[in-house]
Amino acid sequence: MIFLINYLLLAAIAIGLGFLIGKGTHLLKITGVVGYIVTGIILGPDILGIIHLSSVETETVTNIALGFVAFIIGGELTISLLRKMGKSIIAIIIGESLGAFFIVFLGVYLLTNNIPLSIIFAAMAPASAPAGTVAVIQEYKAKGKLTDAILAVVGFDDGFAILIYAFSIAIVGVIFSGVFSVSNVLLVPLADIGIALLIGCMIGAIFALIFKRLIEREEIIALSITAILLTAGLSIFLGVSLILACMIMGMIIINFYPQDNKPVFEHVRSVSLPVYIFFL
């Protein structure tokens, strides 16, 4: 019972054990992310039952981690990188997202002969898992063109997946209701994306100016966490994508003052490991 109510002890066990098992898998030439996942399975309700979070608690941890991940990804998406790799990144994102959508749609439809159900499953197919990808890249300190392309694709892929999902659910609603509405099919999904972009741009612009004037590592970390939680919290409150909002916020900060604000992302990466461990 103590493990269910003592969150400090629970967090210490999860992060400490996850770190040790992650180190063990790393020594075996397997990414530490596998170790973090194994730790979660061991401590979870299916084996030891030490960690048994409610849906609200699980959602909170997930949202914090995704906010960190999206912010870090946004910090890699500089204007110079996008100019250099823009066309190839767009081709990859469209190909893999729409490819996943149509393959899953066809497979589910052949099995069920149910168009709405096929659309729903297909709409979920393009979504990726940015947390694991970023954690592995940080673990091995990978750099280069391939790493840049992966981060860009993972970031924008989620934005495109959100767009696909929003339009797909709207289309399913039209199928069930039999009434076509431009507002539901086009305006509502675009409004959700637009609000997320607006949140990210506004908060990013404000904090870009603030970070430019900060030097102390502790101050930068404190305000970085503030910016991430503020962006994620507003996104959740308004019912839009926190991943897209936090990624755009990171993009604005790094592109407004690339040299001055580069340390911001280095400092955030330096404290992100416990977040990844507890999330995975």
CB atoms within 10 A of CB 279: 22
Q: What is the pLDDT of residue 226?
A: 92
Q: What is the pLDDT of residue 228?
A: 92
Give ∠ CA 189-126-53 in degrees, rounded to 5. 85
The residue ranges of every structural domain in the chain are: 1-52, 53-279
Q: What is the pLDDT of residue 3?
A: 45
User: Which fold is adopted by the domain 53-279?
Assistant: Na+/H+ antiporter like fold (1.20.1530)
Q: What's 144's DSSP letter? A: S
Q: What is the pLDDT of residue 1?
A: 43
Cβ(165)–Cβ(123) below 8 Å: yes
CB atoms within 10 A of CB 242: 24
Cβ(35)–Cβ(23) below 8 Å: yes
Q: What is the pLDDT of residue 205?
A: 92
- CA 5 to CA 62: how far, in whole Å? 19
Cα-based distances in Å from 272 to 118, 137, 199, 269 = 37, 13, 23, 5
Q: What is the pLDDT of residue 79?
A: 82
Picking from 158, 188, 175, 162, the residue whose alpha carbon sits closest to that of residue 119 is 175
Cα-based distances in Å from 217 to 94, 231, 247, 270 = 39, 21, 22, 11
The whole-model pTM stands at 0.79
Residue ranges in the chain modelled with pLDDT below 50:
1-4
DSSP per position, 25-50? HHHTTS-HHHHHHHHHHHHSTTTT--
Q: Give CA torsion, residues 269, 270, 275, 276, to 10 deg.
A: 70
